Amino acid sequence: MQNPGIKNLGDAALSAINAATGGAIITSASDRQGVSQSYLDRLEGMNSATVAVNFNWGSGGTSLDVYVETTLDQGTTWVQVAHAHFTTASAQKLFNLSAETDQVDAFTPAALANDKGQWGIFGDRWRARIITVGTYGGNTSLSVRMSAR
């Protein structure tokens, strides 16, 4: 892999994005020229990734869905590879994803069920997208990290 290590897929103070219930992308990075973009790139050759989703609930809200997504077509289509679901309790959810799989049938991208991951789909760009329901208090936060190997 050309760029291994711990990657920040996004941090969010949830009270600041309650209006974005349609799906806010929380990943922010810079490309090689320093231009801001809403995904991490330069992940060619990654064979595995451990994703940690940390939800610190303070007050309010009803549910939070965190989708970790990758793309195989430079961002035209994003594929869910992990889905962490939270309600009104602090929690950490971990996903250990591998590019290695014995799946030989075609995979049709679709929404993943709560707290599920999808092996074998690894693009060179990754991001985290969230959907919130309800209004979370100012002390509720989210952190998404990935160990790329």
Residue 19 has a pLDDT of: 54
pLDDT digit string (tens) for the chain, length 149 residues: 778 899 999 998 887 766 555 578 999 998 888 899 999 999 988 999 999 999 999 998 899 999 999 999 999 999 999 999 999 999 999 999 998 876 667 778 889 999 999 988 999 999 999 998 888 887 899 999 999 99
Domain count, the chain: 1
In the numeric block, which tokens belong to residue 1? 């892999």
Q: Is residue 107 part of a domain?
A: no
Distance separating alpha carbons of residues 142 and 37, to the nearest angstrom: 20
Distance separating alpha carbons of residues 74 and 124, to the nearest angstrom: 8
- CB atoms under 10 Å from CB of 118, counted, come to 20
The CATH number covering residue 61 comes to: 2.60.120
**CB of 10 closer than 8 Å to CB of 145:** no
Does the pTM exceed 0.75?
yes
Q: Is residue 108 part of a domain?
A: no
Range of the domain at 119: 5-101+113-148
